Chain A
Amino acid sequence: MATQPDVKAPDADDAFREEVRQFLAANFPPELKGKGNALASVEGPAQESDAQRKWREAMGERGWGTPTWPREYGGGGLPRRQARILDEEMGRVGAYNPIGGMGVMMFGPTLLEYGSEAQKKEHIPPICRGEIRWCQGYSEPNAGSDLANLQTFAEDKGDHYLVNGQKTWTSGGQWADKCFAIVRTDKSDKHRGISFLLMDMDAPGVEVRPIQMISGMSPFCETFFTDVKVPKENLVGEEGQGWTIGKRLLQHERTNLSGGGSLARMMGASLSDLAKKYVETDDSGAIADRVLRDRIADFEIRWNAFLLTARRAVEESKAAGGVSEISSVLKKLGTKLGQERAELMIEIMGFQGLGWEGEGFSEAELAGVRAWLFGKATTIYGGSTEIQNNIIAKRVLGMLDHQ
């Protein structure tokens, strides 16, 4: 939560704010105002316009898309306070962060912690500039919640590994340049037989097949590896350390998936504004349907409490030095609230909020429907809510397994 130094901005922060304002005035193309980062969209990358590219390059140049990452690897090197100022100022002019995706959300922070110097120098800068798209090779047909049961095998061939196996539900696999994967290097030990490996998606022997989802999109894939050669220098950490590193990455994933500010922004119009548009209001401008009004207020209050929780978690884990099990709590809460919101939203809009395609629906309405459907994935991926509950119960609350 807001601690004292955050409240009273020192002079350096004022100067920084001024710098950001000037930068935005000079570099943020006005036609992108209020738009989201299309390149990080779950529907897959759209064609990048000139304005989008210009904006991405300007932010990438400064490292401000990854504002708190170290400067030496292409990040912004900003203290969190200034990162927040940057965020506020972008919000003020309707600018979005053009740098995103799995590289930023999960892989980068994990590599910064566990990667070798050479690996950081090679992989972090292109992430900071938004030039490289990463995908996550974790799940397999028989390794979902029981992720450590994965069977994709990386055989030691001296200077390289030979990888064989199948991954599934690989989001963005068809657009990705590279894949961070956990693979088996030792069949005799379930957890310690796992290693963390970086692969090129255009390497010979890698094949992806997109899968269509209930929302109509096809952003995730089955990924097959047949005798794929992966150089040894692409092993992150030690052989057998993959489970530890992989779980750390999941903590980052969960923290990000829980939503917080970015999700709030992505969700666009407030529920109350939506309700005012789609249902009647009384003379005072209040939503005339008092039951609906009450439910919206109920939701909004809890949503605010959640945002405060996300902020608190960041500050607490910062004070304690690193991400923590609390990411499970955030993921569980944020995804549930996100789904509740989407359900309430389509209910407010009535049939107008259930359009699939064609005439009679606005772009926002159609997008809302797809987002509602896609949103059902949030409580499944990154470790389902049930798995988060298991983690909270066992690791946080110390409730044990049957003896």
Chain B
Amino acid sequence: MAVLNEEQEMLRDMAREWATNESPVAAFRKIRASGDPEAFDRDAYGAMAQMGWSGIIVPEEHGGSDFGWLSAGLVVEELGKTLTASPLIATTLAAAAIVLGGSDEQKAKWLPRLASGETIGTLAIDEGPRHDPAKLSASVSGGKLSGTKAFVHEAHGADLFVVAAADGLYLVEKGDGVSLATRKLTDQRSHAEITFDGAPADKLENGGDSLLDDVLDRARILTACEMLGMAQAVFDMTLDYLKQRVQFNQVLATFQALQHRMADLFGDLAMMRSAVEGGLQALDIGVGASRAAIIAKAEANRALHLISREGIQLHGGIGMTDEYDAGFYLKRARVLEAIWGSTPYLRDRFAGASGY
């Protein structure tokens, strides 16, 4: 765990307490059972916003706290542990796009609403089943955007979309020219294909040529924070289980074969945490963020993949039951692995950026 300042420690403790008490995995179970395609609890999100979490990376003059990315990551990690379903990440990323690329008017209009939780935002970038921001065909003419975006996360609750067109990022509000088709994925969260058909679009003119990449860096890093929380939770849950399950008259935790597997996973978890925290710090320092983002997401993909699989295996039969929580993590893990760059995609990018 990165060395935190007092403010950050308080924030983390508050998030941990809230997630444990108010938003345990049971809360997600209830949302899933409801079948609501929005797939989050509006009251719970309201409470998060009230605690200031939706405004952590928003400047103070626009209604946020400007606590920085490490702080935002701490909260997201805690929520990841309990699989809290919310549009917090999506909204934070939409806000980040506006902070980086918005005009004064756009900032003044949207940031206070996103920070207060009144408006929910999300990113609409990819157009196919695999992340590939180099291939975008959505286009804008005369201020109207047309194109189809595949698998947009948190789409059902979103009021504001940050849409990547061939020539830049645009703000599009829910409403005229925006239609949505649900895509239920294994994680049972909100995903949809969105068709924009001449939807009014307001360009983010600032932020330069790298705006999309800069937003994606943040998307990779913040998503990796959720994955870190999930990996930590599955690891802890598995360790607890091994310490209480008795077979052969021994608690399973005493078997060296299992001890060594847990020690291996512990090492993977340590590397994942360093990579993720390194990404957050790179954003706060403002140096090397794109490389740090690749490392953070690639490590998150790799370690969570492993830990979510071993989490099931080490639980034995009970791990296969819907009643037990471990499976939820596996199912969400693969969705997050695919978003903003699969492992091969990230390696390719890393190699390219490193000049080989």
Contacts and interface: CB of A to CB of B under 8 A. Distances in A.
Prevailing SS type, chain B contact patch: helix
B242 interface: yes
B313 interface: no
Contacts of A326: 270
Contacts of B344: 294
A402 B278 CA distance: 39
A305 B275 contact: yes
17 contacts: A4-B5, A293-B356, A297-B354, A304-B275, A308-B295, A311-B274, A315-B3, A316-B1, A316-B3, A332-B263, A389-B264, A393-B259, A394-B259, A397-B239, A399-B239, A399-B254, A402-B250
Contacts of A296: 351, 356
A7 interface: yes
A398 interface: yes
A386 interface: yes
A179 to B, nearest CB: 32
Given A286-B352, A293-B356, A301-B350, A403 B266 contact: no
Contacts of B272: 305
Nearest to B277: A1
B34 interface: no
A300 interface: yes
A7 B351 contact: no
Nearest to B299: A305
A352 interface: no
A332 B268 CA distance: 11
A39 interface: no
Nearest to B349: A297
Interface size class of B (residues with CB under 8 A): 35 or more
Nearest 10 interchain pairs by C-beta = A393-B259, A308-B274, A297-B347, A272-B356, A389-B263, A309-B274, A399-B253, A392-B263, A305-B275, A305-B271
Contacts of B262: 392-393, 397, 399
B285 to A, nearest CB: 6
Nearest to B268: A333
Contacts of B267: 329, 332-333, 392
A308 B1 CA distance: 12
Contacts of A293: 351, 356
B134 interface: no
Nearest to A287: B356
Given A297-B350, A309-B270, 8 more contacts: A1-B277, A296-B356, A301-B295, A305-B272, A311-B274, A312-B2, A390-B256, A394-B259
A389 B260 contact: yes
A329 B263 CA distance: 8
B243 interface: yes
B190 interface: no
A7 B278 contact: no
A312 B243 contact: no
Contact of A1 (B254, B263, B281, B352): B281
B355 interface: yes
A162 to B, nearest CB: 40
B168 to A, nearest CB: 26
B264 A286 contact: no
A399 B3 contact: no
A302 B251 CA distance: 33
A306 B271 contact: yes
A304 to B, nearest CB: 5
Given A1-B2, A294-B344, A294-B348, A286 B299 contact: no
Contacts of B253: 398-400
Contacts of B354: 272, 297, 300
Contacts of A1: 2-3, 274, 277-278, 281
A272 B347 contact: no
Given A1-B277, A329-B270, A305 B295 contact: yes
A1 B267 CA distance: 17
A275 B258 CA distance: 38
A286 B356 contact: yes
A400 B254 contact: yes
Interface string A1-12: 111100100000
A276 interface: yes
Interface in B294-326: 294-295, 298-299, 302
A273 B259 CA distance: 38
B347 A386 contact: no
Contacts of B275: 304-305, 308
Given A1-B278, A275-B356, A286 B351 contact: yes
Given A329-B266, A333-B270, A400-B254, A301 B299 contact: yes
A304 B275 CA distance: 8
A276 B2 CA distance: 36
Interface string A374-403: 000000000000101110111011111111
A3 B278 CA distance: 11
Nearest to A309: B274
B254 to A, nearest CB: 5
Given A297-B351, A301-B294, A312 B250 contact: no
Contacts of A297: 347-348, 350-351, 354
